[in-house]
Amino acid sequence: MTDDIEQGPEAPQVYLITPPAFEPSRFPDLLAACLDAVPVACVRLALASSDESAVGRAADLCRAVAHARDVAIVVEQHLGIAERHGLDGVHLSDHARSVGRVRKALGEDAIVGAWCGNSRHDGMTAGELGADYVAFGPVAESVLGSGRVAEAELFQWWSEMIEVPVVAEGALTGDRIRALAPFADFFGIGEEIWGSDDPAAALKALRAEML
């Protein structure tokens, strides 16, 4: 299941990010509908909660949905949960600082991703330390991270110079996706769809902009 996230094809793929909080009785069905609507390379469990028991229960629910469809799933930050709950890896949000330690802890087969804001230097460092992918964002004005925008030039440079796959995320619109599609391996889609009446339909519309 890690092949898709380790090396994207020519056309970008969907990297689906869960909401920071969700109703456990409802969300698995929404997730399943999204995974059935479009091809998805990976799901990121991105809960804001620090309650490891709650995150663990959510991990079990989402893992069952993702793995039933042969889709990889990673968890944001919680290394222990990735190990205990049979997830495929971890997404780190501290740029390159934890990549080496987490790679050593999880081994070579796990997915380790790193969010690096708009820092070319941090992205390169994360790749050198063993990250399977680097995420840059937001790609437009947003409250994500520091709020500093990752410009199209960064993605273009990365695609030309660096082999590590790159994820574009944060404040995605159809226009931004079309502009970045020639350079991004994956689009991290989450907040853009979960507030809609039909997240699967919203995801399908955004995915169409990648092709």
CB 25 within 8 A of CB 57: no
Is the preceding omega at residue 165 within 30 degrees of 0, hence cis? Answer: no
List, in order of start, the domains of the chain with CATH numbers. Answer: 3-206 (3.20.20.70)
| pLDDT values of the chain reduced to their tens digit, one per residue, 211 residues | 344 455 445 789 999 999 999 999 999 999 999 999 999 999 999 999 989 999 999 999 999 999 999 999 999 999 999 999 999 999 999 999 999 999 999 999 999 999 999 999 999 999 999 999 999 999 998 665 566 899 999 999 999 999 999 999 999 999 999 999 999 999 999 999 999 999 999 999 999 999 9
The structure's pTM equals: 0.93
Q: Which long-range contacts (CB under 8 A, 24 or more apart) does 103-109 make?
A: 103/129, 103/130, 103/131, 105/79, 106/79, 106/82, 109/2
